[in-house]
Amino acid sequence: MDDVKQTVTETDDSGIDATGAPARQQTKRIQTETAVNGNTTAQNVVWYILGLVEILLGLRFTLKLFGANSANSFVDLIYSVTRPLTAPFDSIFGVTNTTTGQTNSVFEPSILVAGFVYALVAWGIVKLITINQKNY
């Protein structure tokens, strides 16, 4: 758990309200400062990498599903970058192809499995970092 330091500032404004009765207004301002340590930074890096991987896998899934032209340089880049990420999961399920006109739509459940497995691995790494943090 991060060290939290709270600073409370109180001001008291006394005066008279519209009815002539004394009015009292109190304002509290709370400032919270959080100390960041190396474990928190490591956790954030793991979540950042997972976010990047999930975005790339989501793009691959969407492009395959909508039958994007693989001759396009952007589509080819996404397929090339994500191919190693999905390769271990490619033979788990079959691939469904649907052709409409010149569009070849592909549903690859292995991309969804890869995203789930990488999220689970990242969660486990963050939990290990948290356990390490609590011991010190």
> Do both 86 and 62 map to the same domain?
yes
> Do both 127 and 89 map to the same domain?
yes
> Do both 20 and 65 map to the same domain?
no
Average pLDDT of the residues in 15-27: 61
- Express each pLDDT in 55-68 by its tens digit: 999 999 999 999 99
Q: Tell me how crowded residue 105 is: count the other CB atoms within 10 A of its CB.
A: 14
> Do both 18 and 47 map to the same domain?
no
> Do both 77 and 89 map to the same domain?
yes
Average pLDDT of the residues in 95-121: 89
The count of structural domains within the chain is 2
Contacts for 37 with CB less than 8 Å, ≥ 6 apart: 2, 133
Portion of the chain with pLDDT greater than 90, in percent: 51
In this prediction, residue 97 has a pLDDT band, given cuts at 50, 70 and 90, of confident
- Express each pLDDT in 30-82 by its tens digit: 766 666 677 888 899 999 999 999 999 999 999 999 999 989 999 999 999 99
| Residue whose C-alpha is closest to residue 86's, from 61, 63, 105 | 61
> Do both 22 and 45 map to the same domain?
no
> Do both 54 and 81 map to the same domain?
yes
> Do both 65 and 42 map to the same domain?
yes
> Do both 28 and 47 map to the same domain?
no
Full residue range of the structural domain in which residue 29 is found: 4-34
> Do both 48 and 22 map to the same domain?
no
Q: What is the pTM of this model?
A: 0.69
> Do both 28 and 44 map to the same domain?
no
